Amino acid sequence: MSQNQPAPSSHAIFEAEALSHIRHELRTPLNQIIGYSEMLEEDATDAGQDALVPDLQKIQKAARNLDGLIQTHLGTHVLGALDAVIADDEVQHSATGEARQPVGFAIPDSDDAADHHLTQLCGHVLAVDDNESNRDMLSRRLLRHGLTVEVAVNGIDALAQLEAKPFDLVLLDIMMPELDGYEVLKRMKASDNLRHIPVVMISALDELESVVRCIEAGAEDYLSKPFNPTLLRARVGACLEKKALRDQEQDYLATIETTQKRLKRELDDATTYVRSILPEPETKPYPIDWVYTPSTELGGDAFGYHWIDEDHFAMYLLDVCGHGVGASLLSVAAINVMRNGSIAQTDFRDPAQVLTRLNNMFLMERQNNMYFTLWYGVFQKSTRKLTFSGGGHPPSLLYTGDIDGGEPVLQELHRGGLPIGALEDVPYGATTVDVPADARLLILCDGTYEIELPEGGMLGLDGLTEFIRPRVASPTLLTDITEWIRTFHGDGPLEDDFSLVRVHLC
Protein backbone atom coordinates (compact mmCIF):
# COMPACT_ATOMS: atom_id res chain seq x y z
CA MET A 1 0.00 0.00 0.00
CA SER A 2 1.45 3.39 -0.97
CA GLN A 3 1.97 6.16 1.55
CA ASN A 4 -0.69 8.32 -0.18
CA GLN A 5 -3.34 5.58 0.03
CA PRO A 6 -5.19 5.44 3.37
CA ALA A 7 -5.63 2.11 5.11
CA PRO A 8 -9.15 0.69 4.91
CA SER A 9 -11.27 1.36 7.96
CA SER A 10 -12.76 -1.44 10.04
CA HIS A 11 -16.18 -0.38 8.75
CA ALA A 12 -15.01 -0.79 5.14
CA ILE A 13 -13.55 -4.23 5.93
CA PHE A 14 -16.83 -5.26 7.54
CA GLU A 15 -18.79 -4.09 4.47
CA ALA A 16 -16.46 -6.04 2.16
CA GLU A 17 -16.91 -9.21 4.23
CA ALA A 18 -20.68 -8.71 4.29
CA LEU A 19 -20.78 -8.29 0.50
CA SER A 20 -18.67 -11.39 0.12
CA HIS A 21 -21.07 -13.39 2.26
CA ILE A 22 -24.10 -12.07 0.35
CA ARG A 23 -22.54 -12.98 -2.98
CA HIS A 24 -21.81 -16.47 -1.66
CA GLU A 25 -25.39 -17.00 -0.50
CA LEU A 26 -26.86 -15.68 -3.78
CA ARG A 27 -24.56 -17.49 -6.16
CA THR A 28 -24.81 -20.92 -4.48
CA PRO A 29 -28.39 -21.64 -5.67
CA LEU A 30 -27.55 -20.15 -9.08
CA ASN A 31 -24.70 -22.62 -9.33
CA GLN A 32 -27.13 -25.43 -8.63
CA ILE A 33 -29.61 -24.17 -11.23
CA ILE A 34 -26.93 -23.90 -13.90
CA GLY A 35 -25.40 -27.25 -13.02
CA TYR A 36 -28.63 -29.24 -12.95
CA SER A 37 -29.90 -27.62 -16.17
CA GLU A 38 -26.61 -28.49 -17.90
CA MET A 39 -26.88 -32.12 -16.86
CA LEU A 40 -30.55 -32.24 -17.91
CA GLU A 41 -29.51 -30.83 -21.28
CA GLU A 42 -26.96 -33.62 -21.64
CA ASP A 43 -29.57 -36.23 -20.73
CA ALA A 44 -32.09 -34.73 -23.16
CA THR A 45 -29.53 -34.72 -25.96
CA ASP A 46 -28.53 -38.33 -25.26
CA ALA A 47 -32.19 -39.41 -25.19
CA GLY A 48 -33.01 -37.64 -28.45
CA GLN A 49 -35.40 -35.18 -26.73
CA ASP A 50 -34.08 -32.18 -28.62
CA ALA A 51 -37.28 -30.20 -28.05
CA LEU A 52 -36.33 -29.74 -24.38
CA VAL A 53 -32.88 -28.34 -25.10
CA PRO A 54 -33.82 -24.71 -25.96
CA ASP A 55 -35.82 -24.26 -22.76
CA LEU A 56 -33.00 -25.68 -20.64
CA GLN A 57 -30.56 -23.33 -22.38
CA LYS A 58 -32.89 -20.40 -21.57
CA ILE A 59 -32.77 -21.41 -17.90
CA GLN A 60 -28.98 -21.48 -18.02
CA LYS A 61 -28.89 -18.11 -19.77
CA ALA A 62 -31.16 -16.50 -17.24
CA ALA A 63 -29.16 -17.91 -14.34
CA ARG A 64 -25.87 -16.74 -15.86
CA ASN A 65 -27.29 -13.28 -16.50
CA LEU A 66 -28.39 -13.06 -12.89
CA ASP A 67 -25.00 -14.25 -11.74
CA GLY A 68 -23.38 -11.54 -13.88
CA LEU A 69 -25.58 -8.90 -12.24
CA ILE A 70 -24.57 -10.14 -8.80
CA GLN A 71 -20.92 -9.93 -9.78
CA THR A 72 -21.32 -6.43 -11.21
CA HIS A 73 -23.43 -4.80 -8.53
CA LEU A 74 -22.28 -6.64 -5.41
CA GLY A 75 -18.58 -6.81 -6.28
CA THR A 76 -15.73 -5.17 -4.39
CA HIS A 77 -12.68 -3.37 -5.76
CA VAL A 78 -10.41 -6.32 -4.90
CA LEU A 79 -10.69 -7.66 -8.42
CA GLY A 80 -10.75 -4.28 -10.12
CA ALA A 81 -8.88 -5.45 -13.16
CA LEU A 82 -11.12 -8.47 -13.57
CA ASP A 83 -14.35 -6.48 -12.91
CA ALA A 84 -13.46 -4.19 -15.81
CA VAL A 85 -13.43 -7.20 -18.12
CA ILE A 86 -17.06 -8.00 -17.31
CA ALA A 87 -18.56 -4.50 -17.98
CA ASP A 88 -22.06 -4.80 -19.48
CA ASP A 89 -21.28 -6.57 -22.74
CA GLU A 90 -22.66 -10.09 -23.02
CA VAL A 91 -20.98 -12.93 -24.86
CA GLN A 92 -23.52 -14.49 -27.20
CA HIS A 93 -23.32 -18.20 -28.19
CA SER A 94 -26.25 -19.14 -30.43
CA ALA A 95 -25.71 -22.89 -30.08
CA THR A 96 -25.90 -22.91 -26.27
CA GLY A 97 -27.67 -19.68 -25.48
CA GLU A 98 -24.98 -18.72 -22.98
CA ALA A 99 -24.69 -15.32 -21.43
CA ARG A 100 -21.48 -13.67 -20.31
CA GLN A 101 -19.17 -15.50 -17.96
CA PRO A 102 -18.99 -14.50 -14.28
CA VAL A 103 -15.81 -13.14 -12.78
CA GLY A 104 -13.37 -15.87 -11.84
CA PHE A 105 -11.34 -18.47 -13.63
CA ALA A 106 -14.13 -20.03 -15.69
CA ILE A 107 -13.73 -20.27 -19.45
CA PRO A 108 -16.47 -20.19 -22.08
CA ASP A 109 -18.56 -23.36 -22.05
CA SER A 110 -18.06 -25.92 -24.73
CA ASP A 111 -20.85 -28.06 -26.05
CA ASP A 112 -21.79 -30.10 -22.97
CA ALA A 113 -23.18 -32.90 -25.09
CA ALA A 114 -19.78 -33.29 -26.73
CA ASP A 115 -18.01 -32.93 -23.38
CA HIS A 116 -20.22 -35.69 -21.98
CA HIS A 117 -18.78 -38.19 -24.44
CA LEU A 118 -15.10 -37.46 -23.78
CA THR A 119 -12.79 -40.21 -22.58
CA GLN A 120 -13.73 -41.17 -19.04
CA LEU A 121 -11.51 -40.21 -16.14
CA CYS A 122 -10.36 -42.60 -13.45
CA GLY A 123 -9.87 -41.86 -9.77
CA HIS A 124 -11.33 -41.69 -6.28
CA VAL A 125 -12.57 -38.17 -5.48
CA LEU A 126 -13.85 -36.62 -2.27
CA ALA A 127 -16.29 -33.70 -2.78
CA VAL A 128 -16.59 -31.53 0.31
CA ASP A 129 -19.46 -29.02 0.62
CA ASP A 130 -21.88 -28.18 3.43
CA ASN A 131 -24.73 -27.60 0.97
CA GLU A 132 -26.55 -30.82 0.06
CA SER A 133 -27.62 -29.64 -3.38
CA ASN A 134 -24.09 -28.54 -4.21
CA ARG A 135 -22.74 -31.93 -3.15
CA ASP A 136 -25.34 -33.76 -5.20
CA MET A 137 -24.78 -31.67 -8.32
CA LEU A 138 -20.98 -31.88 -8.10
CA SER A 139 -20.94 -35.63 -7.43
CA ARG A 140 -23.31 -36.24 -10.35
CA ARG A 141 -21.06 -34.23 -12.65
CA LEU A 142 -18.01 -36.20 -11.52
CA LEU A 143 -19.80 -39.53 -11.83
CA ARG A 144 -20.62 -38.70 -15.43
CA HIS A 145 -16.89 -38.48 -16.09
CA GLY A 146 -16.34 -42.00 -14.76
CA LEU A 147 -14.96 -41.07 -11.35
CA THR A 148 -15.62 -42.80 -8.05
CA VAL A 149 -17.07 -40.09 -5.82
CA GLU A 150 -17.65 -39.79 -2.10
CA VAL A 151 -18.97 -36.72 -0.31
CA ALA A 152 -18.26 -35.01 3.02
CA VAL A 153 -20.70 -32.63 4.68
CA ASN A 154 -18.10 -30.45 6.39
CA GLY A 155 -14.38 -30.09 7.07
CA ILE A 156 -14.32 -32.41 10.09
CA ASP A 157 -16.10 -35.14 8.12
CA ALA A 158 -13.65 -34.64 5.24
CA LEU A 159 -10.56 -35.07 7.42
CA ALA A 160 -12.03 -38.19 9.02
CA GLN A 161 -12.68 -39.78 5.62
CA LEU A 162 -9.26 -38.80 4.32
CA GLU A 163 -7.58 -40.53 7.25
CA ALA A 164 -9.75 -43.63 6.83
CA LYS A 165 -9.33 -44.38 3.12
CA PRO A 166 -7.20 -43.37 0.12
CA PHE A 167 -8.32 -40.60 -2.24
CA ASP A 168 -6.79 -39.28 -5.44
CA LEU A 169 -8.29 -35.79 -5.31
CA VAL A 170 -10.26 -33.49 -2.99
CA LEU A 171 -12.70 -30.86 -4.27
CA LEU A 172 -13.02 -28.56 -1.28
CA ASP A 173 -15.53 -25.78 -0.64
CA ILE A 174 -14.05 -22.74 1.11
CA MET A 175 -16.98 -21.42 3.17
CA MET A 176 -18.23 -24.11 5.58
CA PRO A 177 -19.31 -24.08 9.22
CA GLU A 178 -17.25 -25.68 12.02
CA LEU A 179 -14.09 -26.06 9.93
CA ASP A 180 -13.75 -24.04 6.73
CA GLY A 181 -11.90 -25.09 3.61
CA TYR A 182 -8.81 -23.01 4.40
CA GLU A 183 -8.30 -24.84 7.70
CA VAL A 184 -8.93 -28.27 6.13
CA LEU A 185 -6.34 -27.47 3.47
CA LYS A 186 -3.79 -26.36 6.06
CA ARG A 187 -4.29 -29.53 8.13
CA MET A 188 -3.95 -31.73 5.05
CA LYS A 189 -0.68 -30.09 4.03
CA ALA A 190 0.63 -30.46 7.59
CA SER A 191 -0.05 -34.21 7.57
CA ASP A 192 2.55 -36.64 6.22
CA ASN A 193 -0.25 -38.97 5.13
CA LEU A 194 -2.39 -36.37 3.37
CA ARG A 195 -0.03 -33.69 2.08
CA HIS A 196 0.40 -35.38 -1.31
CA ILE A 197 -3.33 -35.51 -2.15
CA PRO A 198 -4.09 -32.71 -4.64
CA VAL A 199 -6.78 -30.24 -3.60
CA VAL A 200 -8.94 -28.06 -5.86
CA MET A 201 -10.77 -25.28 -4.00
CA ILE A 202 -14.37 -24.56 -5.10
CA SER A 203 -16.34 -21.60 -3.83
CA ALA A 204 -18.78 -18.90 -4.85
CA LEU A 205 -16.17 -16.44 -3.63
CA ASP A 206 -14.05 -15.02 -6.41
CA GLU A 207 -11.84 -12.42 -4.72
CA LEU A 208 -8.25 -12.62 -5.86
CA GLU A 209 -6.97 -12.78 -2.30
CA SER A 210 -9.01 -15.95 -1.75
CA VAL A 211 -7.34 -17.58 -4.73
CA VAL A 212 -3.88 -16.49 -3.62
CA ARG A 213 -4.53 -17.66 -0.07
CA CYS A 214 -5.54 -21.13 -1.26
CA ILE A 215 -2.59 -21.51 -3.64
CA GLU A 216 -0.12 -20.31 -0.99
CA ALA A 217 -1.55 -22.85 1.45
CA GLY A 218 -0.85 -25.65 -1.03
CA ALA A 219 -4.00 -25.97 -3.15
CA GLU A 220 -3.40 -27.42 -6.59
CA ASP A 221 -5.98 -25.21 -8.30
CA TYR A 222 -9.10 -23.08 -7.81
CA LEU A 223 -12.55 -23.07 -9.42
CA SER A 224 -15.26 -20.47 -8.91
CA LYS A 225 -18.95 -21.31 -8.71
CA PRO A 226 -20.89 -21.61 -10.89
CA PHE A 227 -18.07 -23.65 -12.38
CA ASN A 228 -17.60 -24.30 -16.04
CA PRO A 229 -18.06 -28.05 -16.76
CA THR A 230 -15.24 -28.13 -19.30
CA LEU A 231 -12.88 -26.33 -16.93
CA LEU A 232 -13.93 -28.61 -14.07
CA ARG A 233 -13.15 -31.68 -16.14
CA ALA A 234 -9.85 -30.24 -17.32
CA ARG A 235 -8.69 -29.27 -13.83
CA VAL A 236 -9.80 -32.57 -12.30
CA GLY A 237 -8.18 -34.55 -15.11
CA ALA A 238 -4.90 -32.64 -14.77
CA CYS A 239 -4.79 -33.15 -11.00
CA LEU A 240 -5.56 -36.86 -11.31
CA GLU A 241 -2.88 -37.29 -13.96
CA LYS A 242 -0.33 -35.54 -11.75
CA LYS A 243 -1.38 -37.67 -8.77
CA ALA A 244 -1.11 -40.85 -10.87
CA LEU A 245 2.37 -39.87 -12.03
CA ARG A 246 3.43 -39.16 -8.44
CA ASP A 247 2.00 -42.49 -7.26
CA GLN A 248 3.89 -44.21 -10.07
CA GLU A 249 7.05 -42.39 -9.05
CA GLN A 250 6.54 -43.44 -5.42
CA ASP A 251 6.03 -47.05 -6.54
CA TYR A 252 9.26 -46.88 -8.54
CA LEU A 253 11.11 -45.38 -5.57
CA ALA A 254 9.72 -48.07 -3.26
CA THR A 255 10.81 -50.75 -5.74
CA ILE A 256 14.26 -49.19 -6.00
CA GLU A 257 14.53 -48.95 -2.22
CA THR A 258 13.48 -52.59 -1.81
CA THR A 259 15.95 -53.64 -4.50
CA GLN A 260 18.73 -51.61 -2.90
CA LYS A 261 18.06 -53.20 0.49
CA ARG A 262 18.13 -56.67 -1.06
CA LEU A 263 21.34 -55.87 -2.94
CA LYS A 264 22.89 -54.50 0.24
CA ARG A 265 22.04 -57.70 2.09
CA GLU A 266 23.54 -59.74 -0.73
CA LEU A 267 26.64 -57.52 -0.85
CA ASP A 268 27.00 -57.84 2.92
CA ASP A 269 26.79 -61.62 2.57
CA ALA A 270 29.34 -61.55 -0.25
CA THR A 271 31.65 -59.29 1.77
CA THR A 272 31.39 -61.65 4.72
CA TYR A 273 32.27 -64.57 2.46
CA VAL A 274 35.26 -62.80 0.90
CA ARG A 275 36.63 -61.97 4.33
CA SER A 276 35.97 -65.54 5.49
CA ILE A 277 38.37 -66.96 2.91
CA LEU A 278 41.19 -64.69 4.05
CA PRO A 279 43.56 -66.52 6.40
CA GLU A 280 43.73 -65.79 10.09
CA PRO A 281 46.81 -63.92 11.39
CA GLU A 282 49.53 -66.32 12.58
CA THR A 283 51.81 -66.30 15.62
CA LYS A 284 54.10 -69.25 14.79
CA PRO A 285 56.22 -70.52 13.32
CA TYR A 286 56.16 -67.24 11.37
CA PRO A 287 54.16 -64.37 12.89
CA ILE A 288 51.90 -62.88 10.23
CA ASP A 289 49.54 -59.91 10.38
CA TRP A 290 47.68 -58.06 7.64
CA VAL A 291 45.33 -55.19 6.79
CA TYR A 292 42.60 -55.34 4.16
CA THR A 293 40.43 -52.32 3.27
CA PRO A 294 38.46 -52.57 0.00
CA SER A 295 37.54 -49.30 -1.70
CA THR A 296 33.95 -50.54 -2.19
CA GLU A 297 31.83 -53.20 -0.48
CA LEU A 298 33.59 -55.80 -2.62
CA GLY A 299 37.20 -55.32 -3.67
CA GLY A 300 39.44 -57.01 -6.20
CA ASP A 301 42.29 -57.82 -3.78
CA ALA A 302 42.82 -61.19 -2.17
CA PHE A 303 45.75 -62.89 -0.46
CA GLY A 304 46.71 -66.06 1.34
CA TYR A 305 49.51 -68.19 2.81
CA HIS A 306 49.72 -71.89 3.61
CA TRP A 307 52.15 -74.81 3.95
CA ILE A 308 52.54 -76.77 0.73
CA ASP A 309 54.48 -79.43 2.61
CA GLU A 310 56.55 -79.50 5.81
CA ASP A 311 59.39 -77.55 4.21
CA HIS A 312 57.69 -75.12 1.81
CA PHE A 313 55.53 -72.17 2.82
CA ALA A 314 53.59 -70.31 0.07
CA MET A 315 52.63 -66.60 0.27
CA TYR A 316 50.67 -64.69 -2.38
CA LEU A 317 48.65 -61.56 -3.05
CA LEU A 318 46.64 -60.71 -6.17
CA ASP A 319 44.90 -57.58 -7.40
CA VAL A 320 42.10 -57.78 -9.98
CA CYS A 321 41.59 -54.82 -12.28
CA GLY A 322 38.58 -52.78 -11.16
CA HIS A 323 36.32 -53.24 -8.18
CA GLY A 324 32.90 -54.57 -7.31
CA VAL A 325 31.18 -57.91 -7.74
CA GLY A 326 32.94 -59.02 -10.94
CA ALA A 327 36.42 -58.26 -9.60
CA SER A 328 35.62 -59.94 -6.31
CA LEU A 329 34.35 -63.13 -7.99
CA LEU A 330 37.54 -63.41 -10.04
CA SER A 331 39.79 -62.80 -7.03
CA VAL A 332 37.94 -65.42 -4.97
CA ALA A 333 38.15 -67.98 -7.79
CA ALA A 334 41.90 -67.44 -8.29
CA ILE A 335 42.76 -67.39 -4.59
CA ASN A 336 40.85 -70.65 -4.02
CA VAL A 337 42.82 -72.32 -6.84
CA MET A 338 46.10 -71.35 -5.17
CA ARG A 339 44.95 -72.19 -1.67
CA ASN A 340 43.65 -75.61 -2.68
CA GLY A 341 46.38 -76.39 -5.21
CA SER A 342 43.71 -77.31 -7.75
CA ILE A 343 45.64 -77.07 -11.01
CA ALA A 344 46.43 -80.48 -12.48
CA GLN A 345 50.09 -81.42 -12.95
CA THR A 346 51.33 -78.22 -11.29
CA ASP A 347 54.12 -78.06 -8.71
CA PHE A 348 53.03 -75.26 -6.39
CA ARG A 349 56.57 -75.10 -5.01
CA ASP A 350 57.58 -73.61 -8.39
CA PRO A 351 56.24 -70.02 -8.63
CA ALA A 352 57.05 -69.69 -12.34
CA GLN A 353 55.02 -72.81 -13.17
CA VAL A 354 52.14 -71.62 -10.99
CA LEU A 355 51.87 -68.26 -12.77
CA THR A 356 52.16 -69.85 -16.22
CA ARG A 357 49.30 -72.27 -15.48
CA LEU A 358 47.16 -69.58 -13.81
CA ASN A 359 47.63 -67.32 -16.83
CA ASN A 360 46.17 -69.91 -19.21
CA MET A 361 43.41 -70.83 -16.77
CA PHE A 362 42.19 -67.23 -16.31
CA LEU A 363 42.57 -65.73 -19.79
CA MET A 364 40.83 -62.37 -19.79
CA GLU A 365 38.65 -63.12 -22.82
CA ARG A 366 37.01 -65.81 -20.68
CA GLN A 367 36.77 -63.53 -17.62
CA ASN A 368 34.74 -60.64 -19.00
CA ASN A 369 38.01 -58.95 -20.09
CA MET A 370 39.27 -58.80 -16.53
CA TYR A 371 42.81 -59.70 -15.52
CA PHE A 372 44.80 -59.62 -12.31
CA THR A 373 48.31 -58.98 -11.11
CA LEU A 374 49.98 -61.46 -8.75
CA TRP A 375 53.01 -61.85 -6.52
CA TYR A 376 53.62 -65.47 -5.50
CA GLY A 377 56.52 -66.61 -3.31
CA VAL A 378 57.61 -69.90 -1.67
CA PHE A 379 59.88 -69.90 1.37
CA GLN A 380 61.91 -73.09 1.94
CA LYS A 381 62.33 -73.53 5.66
CA SER A 382 65.37 -75.85 5.51
CA THR A 383 67.49 -73.63 3.27
CA ARG A 384 65.93 -70.21 4.11
CA LYS A 385 65.61 -69.49 0.41
CA LEU A 386 62.68 -67.53 -1.01
CA THR A 387 61.68 -68.17 -4.62
CA PHE A 388 59.16 -65.77 -6.14
CA SER A 389 57.50 -64.79 -9.40
CA GLY A 390 55.31 -61.89 -10.44
CA GLY A 391 52.78 -61.00 -13.06
CA GLY A 392 52.51 -57.23 -13.41
CA HIS A 393 52.48 -56.85 -9.62
CA PRO A 394 54.38 -54.36 -7.42
CA PRO A 395 57.50 -55.70 -5.68
CA SER A 396 57.32 -57.19 -2.22
CA LEU A 397 59.61 -55.58 0.37
CA LEU A 398 62.18 -57.69 2.21
CA TYR A 399 63.74 -55.95 5.24
CA THR A 400 66.89 -57.52 6.69
CA GLY A 401 69.88 -56.50 8.78
CA ASP A 402 69.64 -54.45 11.99
CA ILE A 403 65.85 -54.22 12.11
CA ASP A 404 65.24 -53.59 15.83
CA GLY A 405 66.28 -49.98 16.32
CA GLY A 406 68.90 -49.96 13.58
CA GLU A 407 68.86 -49.19 9.87
CA PRO A 408 67.33 -52.21 8.09
CA VAL A 409 68.35 -53.09 4.57
CA LEU A 410 65.53 -53.00 2.02
CA GLN A 411 65.44 -55.39 -0.90
CA GLU A 412 62.65 -55.03 -3.45
CA LEU A 413 61.55 -58.44 -4.75
CA HIS A 414 60.32 -57.66 -8.24
CA ARG A 415 59.85 -59.84 -11.33
CA GLY A 416 57.75 -57.66 -13.67
CA GLY A 417 55.98 -59.78 -16.27
CA LEU A 418 52.57 -59.41 -17.89
CA PRO A 419 49.39 -59.45 -15.77
CA ILE A 420 47.73 -62.84 -15.42
CA GLY A 421 45.28 -63.51 -18.26
CA ALA A 422 46.59 -60.87 -20.67
CA LEU A 423 47.98 -63.27 -23.33
CA GLU A 424 47.91 -67.05 -23.72
CA ASP A 425 51.04 -69.18 -23.20
CA VAL A 426 53.11 -66.41 -21.67
CA PRO A 427 56.20 -67.89 -19.90
CA TYR A 428 56.92 -66.60 -16.41
CA GLY A 429 60.29 -66.79 -14.67
CA ALA A 430 61.28 -66.93 -11.02
CA THR A 431 63.99 -65.47 -8.78
CA THR A 432 65.52 -67.00 -5.63
CA VAL A 433 67.05 -64.98 -2.77
CA ASP A 434 68.57 -65.92 0.57
CA VAL A 435 66.62 -64.78 3.62
CA PRO A 436 68.66 -63.99 6.75
CA ALA A 437 67.20 -64.71 10.17
CA ASP A 438 64.76 -62.19 11.64
CA ALA A 439 63.76 -60.81 8.22
CA ARG A 440 60.41 -59.07 7.58
CA LEU A 441 58.60 -59.53 4.29
CA LEU A 442 55.84 -57.10 3.25
CA ILE A 443 53.57 -58.16 0.39
CA LEU A 444 51.42 -55.32 -0.89
CA CYS A 445 49.20 -54.00 -3.66
CA ASP A 446 49.59 -50.73 -5.55
CA GLY A 447 46.68 -49.23 -3.60
CA THR A 448 49.02 -48.87 -0.60
CA TYR A 449 51.21 -46.25 -2.28
CA GLU A 450 49.34 -44.85 -5.30
CA ILE A 451 47.90 -42.16 -3.04
CA GLU A 452 47.32 -38.60 -4.20
CA LEU A 453 48.94 -36.07 -1.88
CA PRO A 454 47.10 -32.88 -0.81
CA GLU A 455 49.89 -30.71 -2.24
CA GLY A 456 49.74 -32.62 -5.53
CA GLY A 457 51.59 -35.59 -6.91
CA MET A 458 51.65 -39.20 -5.74
CA LEU A 459 53.01 -40.76 -2.57
CA GLY A 460 54.70 -43.53 -4.54
CA LEU A 461 56.51 -46.65 -3.40
CA ASP A 462 59.53 -44.65 -2.23
CA GLY A 463 57.34 -42.56 0.05
CA LEU A 464 55.79 -45.68 1.55
CA THR A 465 59.13 -47.46 2.12
CA GLU A 466 60.56 -44.34 3.77
CA PHE A 467 57.69 -44.41 6.26
CA ILE A 468 58.01 -48.18 6.85
CA ARG A 469 61.79 -48.47 7.28
CA PRO A 470 62.11 -47.16 10.89
CA ARG A 471 58.90 -48.91 11.94
CA VAL A 472 59.18 -52.27 10.21
CA ALA A 473 59.40 -54.23 13.51
CA SER A 474 56.73 -52.18 15.31
CA PRO A 475 53.74 -54.25 16.51
CA THR A 476 51.47 -51.42 15.32
CA LEU A 477 53.06 -50.95 11.90
CA LEU A 478 50.00 -51.83 9.83
CA THR A 479 47.71 -49.61 11.93
CA ASP A 480 50.26 -46.80 11.73
CA ILE A 481 50.40 -47.07 7.92
CA THR A 482 46.61 -47.06 7.62
CA GLU A 483 46.21 -44.00 9.85
CA TRP A 484 49.02 -42.23 8.02
CA ILE A 485 47.39 -42.85 4.63
CA ARG A 486 44.13 -41.48 6.02
CA THR A 487 45.84 -38.16 6.76
CA PHE A 488 46.25 -37.74 2.99
CA HIS A 489 42.88 -39.07 1.97
CA GLY A 490 40.34 -38.35 4.71
CA ASP A 491 37.61 -40.58 6.10
CA GLY A 492 35.90 -41.45 2.80
CA PRO A 493 36.48 -44.55 0.69
CA LEU A 494 39.97 -44.99 -0.74
CA GLU A 495 40.49 -44.74 -4.48
CA ASP A 496 41.77 -48.31 -4.61
CA ASP A 497 41.77 -51.46 -2.49
CA PHE A 498 44.34 -51.34 0.32
CA SER A 499 45.98 -54.70 1.16
CA LEU A 500 49.22 -55.32 3.02
CA VAL A 501 50.59 -58.56 4.51
CA ARG A 502 53.60 -58.64 6.88
CA VAL A 503 55.47 -61.94 7.47
CA HIS A 504 58.17 -62.26 10.13
CA LEU A 505 60.53 -64.89 8.70
CA CYS A 506 62.29 -65.45 12.02
One domain, residues 288 and 407: yes
Question: Is residue 5 domain-resident?
Answer: no
Query: Are residues 364 and 293 part of one domain?
Result: yes
Evaluate whether residue 256 is within a structural domain.
no
Residues 420 and 485 in one domain: yes
d(CA 339, CA 333): 10
Q: Is residue 295 in some structural domain? A: yes
Q: Which residues contact 167 (CB under 8 A, 6 or more apart)?
A: 124, 125, 126, 150, 161, 197
* CATH number of the domain to which 73 belongs: 3.40.50.2300
Residue numbers of the domain that contains 49: 10-247
Three-class SS state of 183: helix
Q: Are residues 213 and 282 in the same domain?
A: no
Residues 180 and 327 reside in one and the same domain: no
Tens-digit pLDDT profile for the chain (506 aa)? 444 555 555 544 445 555 666 666 676 677 667 777 777 777 778 788 887 778 778 777 776 777 677 766 666 443 343 344 333 333 333 344 443 333 333 333 444 444 444 578 899 999 999 989 888 888 988 998 899 999 999 999 999 999 999 999 999 998 888 899 999 999 999 999 999 999 999 876 666 777 788 899 999 998 887 777 888 899 999 999 999 998 899 899 999 999 989 988 887 888 888 888 899 999 999 999 999 998 877 788 999 999 999 999 999 999 999 878 889 999 999 999 999 998 989 999 999 999 999 999 999 999 999 999 999 999 999 999 999 999 999 999 999 988 776 789 999 999 989 999 999 999 999 999 999 999 999 999 999 999 988 888 999 999 999 999 999 999 999 999 999 998 987 777 788 899 999 999 99
User: How is the beta sheet containing 431-434 ordered, strand by strand?
Assistant: 301-307, 312-320, 372-380, 385-391, 431-434
Whether residue 222 sits in one domain with residue 109:
yes
Contact 215, 111 (CB under 8 A): no
Whose CA is closest to 95, among 45, 135, 130?
Answer: 45
Do 221 and 296 belong to one domain? no
Both 213 and 360 in one domain: the answer is: no
Both 220 and 306 in one domain: the answer is: no
My answer on whether 342 and 419 are in the same domain is yes
C-beta of residue 408 within 8 angstroms of C-beta of residue 401: yes
Query: Are residues 14 and 113 both part of a single domain?
Result: yes
The answer to whether residues 308 and 197 belong to one domain is no
* Predicted local distance difference test score (pLDDT) of residue 110: 40
Number of domains present in the structure of the chain: 2
Residue 38 lies in a domain: yes
Instruction: Compute CA distances 155 → 184, 195, 218, 285, whole Å.
Output: 6, 16, 16, 82
> Residue 243 in contact with residue 198, Cβ under 8 Å?
yes
Looking at residue 71, its pLDDT comes to: 66
Question: Are 172 and 210 within 8 A, CB to CB?
Answer: no
Contact at 8 Å (CB) between 103 and 82?
yes
Separation of alpha carbons 266 and 75, rounded Å: 68
Residue 172 in domain:
yes
Within a domain: residue 263? no
